[in-house]
Amino acid sequence: MRIVFSTQEISDTGHCVRFFTSHMAVWVYADDKLIYSVEQLHSVFGNSPGVIWNFVDVPSETEQLTVIVRAAYPQVRQKKIDFYAGDTGRMYKYLLYSSGAEVIVSLLEIMVGVVLIGYWLMAHKRVPIERDISYFGVFALLTGIWSFNETKMATILIPSRTACAFVSAVSLMLMIPPFVQFMKCFWKIKDRWISETICVMAYLNFVIQMLLQLTGILGLRQISLEDLVC
């Protein structure tokens, strides 16, 4: 995808262009000079640059700005990209402040998870205590990690977006077993096969996706129902 802007469209509001890309390589040219790029990576975490808020400062003498994007996966090839122009500092502040509530909730989830897991590890050897606390702690921890990595603040402040995308995908896949076990213990559900089957399927899904990821056949973010059907 190739998008061309005139500097008049940008200079009226500021000298910075902001846009969000999801698993796309990016090259930005001021006239014919490359001023910004996000290259597609090839690592154990995947071949995608991840999700990124791109901030491009446009030189004042630029006459034409050209943005070229290339999708890492076919699934995101048709994804719409919105562009914003303005002052760099103000745009950073806007995104950081707007994600403040999400970050606080995510960090609280992580904190609750760590506290519950730590409490169960210390207490279960001394007094009889149900495992539902530990299951809920693991679930809260994974939920917090996943939700924090999806916030705008994390997208801006954490440079290794490929690793973050990997961690988010892993956290999301591993949420199911502790949640199922928590519900079973908390509600005292007496079943022999249903919960175990769900957990086994979740772990099997995790192993298969990790093998596909590590062998380079399919990335974690690339696997979908359409891929399996095709």
Q: Where are the domains of the chain?
A: 2-94, 99-229
| 19 neighbors 75 (Cβ within 8 angstroms) | no
Note the pLDDT tens digit of each residue in 40-72: 877 777 778 888 999 999 988 888 999 999 998
Query: What's residue 76's pLDDT?
Result: 80
- Three-state SS at 106: helix
CB of 138 within 8 A of CB of 117? Answer: yes
Amino acid identity of residue 198, one-letter, is I
Smallest Cα–Cα separation from 223: which of 162, 164, 171, 173?
A: 173
pLDDT, average across residues 157-174: 90
Which of 101-105, 148-152, 187-191 bottoms out in mean pLDDT, i.e. has the lowest? Answer: 187-191
To 5 degrees, how large is the angle CA 216–CA 220–CA 223?
95
pLDDT value for 222: 67
DSSP state of 98: H
**225 falls in which pLDDT band (50, 70, 90)?**
very low
78 class by beta-carbon count within 10 Å (0-12 exposed, 13-18 middle, 19+ buried): exposed
